[in-house]
């Protein structure tokens, strides 16, 4: 397909305020294109919900789109529903019916994320509302190419051209400011059917398309003439075969093309595009295929295949617009999982640049983003990853952020640009490997991460354990929270964001030391699970041992060796873990030590864990 060609499947999002008549418009579109079965039509003639003004016996079109019981009771739409509209041309429209209420902005964004076209309703009697601009802004943000604005309920204003012109000008102007170029405005009455499917005789001053005709005009993005982006979803194996399977995001791949993995320069030639129905000569955007390369490259799920002419250079810092979907607000400094197609990578939101008022379009200063808010953030990934700008490709530039503890999707993000491409940071492979260094040391490097409340006894246990290990000839180092904060991390405070950065730096330093063959003992409060999880993710399994020093808060308060609890009680130390801030105990620590028992017992248990691990001493 080249630009302007019409795909068989069109995805549409329907949006509008609660009472704009969206359900009625969609219901009528479905019914008048024979897209609804008879028994559902029968139901819409006989069943009535509270407030319906449609007489029994006539079709209440709004009932054709109601889904869940809770929605029928409340007479509103809660969640996105998907329906099929059969266009007279034989093309298919998949309608995502998005709710109008403000608290469901996230669902609106979801419905718009895959849409080629948006149908936006405006109630002629009530005029353009804030919500209308919100929906328009979200469509622009999510990259919807076509917008059909239906000025509805014109029957209520006697099909006044003046009213229509004013509303049409206002909404079209807003769309133009959002740089949405393919905009159609249609005067309709969804209830009576004017200009929905059939041309109205009551709008002689209008000679544009009906809503249905405007839908037929929708074309697809020119995805297959763009540079190749092929995210590898899975590796398929069979005797004498290893193929890379996935759905092509943009571009075209042909037998004989030379492909490379983003971030690497080695090329493999496409020798086969395998499908069950026989091999193909070429495949294009949207096709789910399996390619075989010669020579076979070292490729894993989540890698991105491109061509050398237009590669995607991996980066590890990005500016992105996000729609916040989590119940908990975005805390920058927090570690999340970033998911983009088959790619999953730990990532941190390092800064909130601004919040966007989606009704006025204005940018506002903000440090946090709450549910249903939209803003620009900076995201740092744990390793360089190949992401495109969203304008270039939704599939390689759109991402979600996942909370690492609840596993909820908390944000949808659109990459605007990379802040730091890693093209000039090439990791050098040194000849003296970690293995070689460890052989010289006579034992494996390892990180033992002691977490617990202030005063729980982490430093005491670390100190005693180190003395023991040292006596046995094991090379050790202790990274103690207080000591690190005196130097490397003296710029950091105790907010959740600063704690996350504190943990990140200590984990990175511990990893460097471990690679030199040292057993590193970390004694750090590190109160948040997600931060510790991010630290753990830097390591291979077995290299990172989380040890929980479990001491009741009352005991720590009693000890109060640094006087911190006294300060907290006096109100001069707001962020003390366990008092002013939560401490989240580990759920799956390798070891839990009682901080109230005999230190020598704890050390013995810890020693057993460190030394029993295969390869620690040989």
Partner 1 sequence: MHDVLDALEAEAIWALRETAAAFRKPVMLYSIGKDSGVMLHLAKKAFHPGPIPFPVMHIDTTWKFREMIIFRNQMVEEYDLDLIVSTNTEAVAQGVSPFTHGAQEYTRIMKTVALREGLDRHGFDAAIGGSRRDEERSRAKERIFSLRMPGHRWEPRRQRPELWRTVNTQLTEGQTMRTFPLSNWTELDVWRYVRREGLPVVPLYFAAERPTVVRSGSLIVVDDDRMQLEPGEVPQPRMVRFRSLGCYPLSAAVESDAASVDDLIAEMESSRESERAGRLIDGEGGASMEAKKVEGYF
Interface positions, 276-315, toward partner 1 (CB under 8 A): 276-277, 286-288, 290, 301
Q: Residue from 187, 341, 452, 457 that binds partner 1 (CB under 8 A)?
A: 341
Residue 122 Cβ vs partner 1, minimum distance, rounded to whole Å:
25
Binding of partner 1 at residue 218 (CB under 8 A)?
Answer: no
In the bound state with partner 1, the residue whose beta carbon lies nearer, of 73 and 435, is: 73
Binding of partner 1 at residue 340 (CB under 8 A)?
Answer: yes
Q: Phi and psi (nearest 5°) for 214?
A: -65, -35
Q: Residue from 74, 84, 472, 597 that binds partner 1 (CB under 8 A)?
A: 84
Residue 315 Cβ vs partner 1, minimum distance, rounded to whole Å:
18
Which helix (DSSP H) or strand (DSSP E) does residue 566 occupy? helix 564-570
Burial of 43 (C-beta count, 10 Å sphere; 0-12/13-18/19+): middle
Q: d(Cα 30, Cα 150) in Å, to the nearest integer?
A: 16
Nearest C-alpha neighbor of 499 from the set 366, 380, 334: 334
CB of 471 within 8 A of CB of 616?
no
Looking from the CA of 228 toward its CB, the CA atoms found within 13 Å total 22
Q: Which residues touch 67 (CB under 8 Å, ≥6 apart)?
A: 77, 79, 81
Q: Residue from 107, 335, 476, 581 that binds partner 1 (CB under 8 A)?
A: 107
Query: SS3 for 440?
Result: helix
CB of 290 within 8 A of CB of 273?
yes
Residue 599 Cβ vs partner 1, minimum distance, rounded to whole Å:
34
Binding of partner 1 at residue 74 (CB under 8 A)?
Answer: no
Q: Residue from 406, 483, 561, 596 that binds partner 1 (CB under 8 A)?
A: 406
Q: Which residues touch 540 (CB under 8 Å, ≥6 apart)?
A: none
Build a one-symbol-per-residue string for 132-171: x at contacts with partner 1 by CB under 8 A, - elsewhere: ----------------------------------------
Build a one-symbol-per-residue string for 231-250: x at contacts with partner 1 by CB under 8 A, - elsewhere: --xx-xxx--x-x-xxx-x-
Q: Which stretch binds partner 1 (CB under 8 A): 2-10, 156-164, 191-199, 363-371?
A: 2-10
Q: Residue from 282, 307, 409, 422 that binds partner 1 (CB under 8 A)?
A: 409
Binding of partner 1 at residue 205 (CB under 8 A)?
Answer: no
In the bound state with partner 1, the residue whose beta carbon lies nearer, of 205 and 241, is: 241
Binding of partner 1 at residue 29 (CB under 8 A)?
Answer: no
In the bound state with partner 1, the residue whose beta carbon lies nearer, of 66 and 550, is: 66
Query: SS3 for 408?
Result: coil
Binding of partner 1 at residue 1 (CB under 8 A)?
Answer: yes
Residue 355 Cβ vs partner 1, minimum distance, rounded to whole Å:
20
Side-by-side strand order, sheet with 146-152: 81-86, 92-97, 9-15, 117-123, 146-152, 182-187
Nearest C-alpha neighbor of 26 from the set 101, 82, 91: 82
Query: SS3 for 527?
Result: coil
Binding of partner 1 at residue 447 (CB under 8 A)?
Answer: no
């Amino acid at each position: 397909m080249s630009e302007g060609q019409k795909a068989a499947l069109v995805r549409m999002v329907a949006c509008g305020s609660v009472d704009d008549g969206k359900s009625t418009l969609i219901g009528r579109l479905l019914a008048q294109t024979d897209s609804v079965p008879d028994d559902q039509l029968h139901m819409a003639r006989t069943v009535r919900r509270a407030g319906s003004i449609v007489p029994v016996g006539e079709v209440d079109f709004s009932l054709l789109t109601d889904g869940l019981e809770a929605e029928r009771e409340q007479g509103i739409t809660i969640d996105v529903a998907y329906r099929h509209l059969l266009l007279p041309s034989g093309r298919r429209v998949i309608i995502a019916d998005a709710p109008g209420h403000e608290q469901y902005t996230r669902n609106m964004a979801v419905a718009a994320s895959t849409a080629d076209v948006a149908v936006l309703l405006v109630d002629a009697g009530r005029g353009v509302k804030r919500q209308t601009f919100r929906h328009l802004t979200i469509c622009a943000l999510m990259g919807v190419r076509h917008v059909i604005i239906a000025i509805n309920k014109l029957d209520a204003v006697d099909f006044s051209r003046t009213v229509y012109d004013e509303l049409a000008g206002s909404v079209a102007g807003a769309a133009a400011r959002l740089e949405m170029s393919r905009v159609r405005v249609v005067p309709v009455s969804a209830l009576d059917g004017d200009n929905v499917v059939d041309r109205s005789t009551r709008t002689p001053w209008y000679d544009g398309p009906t809503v249905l005709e405007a839908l037929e005009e929708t074309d697809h993005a020119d995805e297959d003439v763009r540079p190749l982006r092929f995210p590898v979803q899975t590796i398929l194996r069979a005797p004498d075969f290893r193929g890379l399977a996935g759905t092509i995001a943009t571009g075209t791949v042909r037998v004989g093309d030379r492909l490379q993995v983003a971030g690497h320069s080695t090329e493999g030639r496409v020798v086969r595009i395998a499908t069950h129905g026989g091999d193909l000569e070429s495949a294009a955007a949207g096709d789910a295929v399996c390619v075989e390369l010669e020579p076979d490259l070292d490729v894993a799920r989540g890698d991105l295949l491109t061509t050398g002419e237009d590669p995607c250079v991996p980066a590890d810092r990005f500016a992105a617009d996000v729609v916040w979907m989590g119940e908990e607000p975005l805390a920058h400094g927090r570690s999340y999982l970033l998911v983009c197609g088959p790619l999953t990578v730990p990532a941190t939101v390092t800064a909130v640049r601004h919040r966007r008022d989606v009704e006025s379009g204005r940018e506002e200063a903000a440090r946090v983003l709450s549910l249903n808010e939209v803003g620009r953030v900076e995201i740092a990934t744990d390793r360089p990853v190949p992401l495109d700008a969203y304008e270039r490709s939704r599939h390689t530039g759109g991402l979600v952020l996942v909370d690492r503890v609840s596993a909820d999707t908390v944000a949808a993000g659109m990459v605007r640009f990379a802040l730091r491409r890693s093209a000039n940071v090439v990791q050098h492979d040194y000849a003296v490997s970690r293995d070689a260094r460890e052989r010289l040391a006579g034992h494996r490097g390892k990180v033992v991460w002691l977490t617990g409340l202030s005063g729980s006894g982490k430093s005491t246990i670390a100190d005693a354990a180190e003395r023991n290990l040292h006596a046995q000839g094991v090379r050790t180092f202790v990274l103690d929270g207080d000591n690190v904060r005196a130097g490397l991390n003296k710029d950091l405070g105790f907010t959740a964001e600063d704690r996350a950065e504190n943990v990140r730096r200590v984990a990175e330093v511990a990893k460097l030391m471990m690679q030199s063959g040292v057993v590193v003992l970390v004694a750090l409060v590190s109160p948040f699970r997600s931060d510790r999880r991010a630290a753990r993710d830097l390591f291979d399994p077995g290299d990172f041992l989380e040890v929980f020093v479990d001491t009741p808060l009352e005991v720590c308060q009693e000890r109060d060796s640094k006087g911190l609890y006294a300060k907290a009680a006096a109100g001069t130390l707001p962020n003390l873990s366990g008092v002013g801030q939560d401490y989240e105990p580990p759920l799956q620590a390798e070891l839990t030590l009682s901080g109230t028992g005999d230190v020598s017992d704890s050390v013995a248990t810890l020693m057993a864990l460190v030394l029993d691990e295969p390869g620690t001493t040989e």
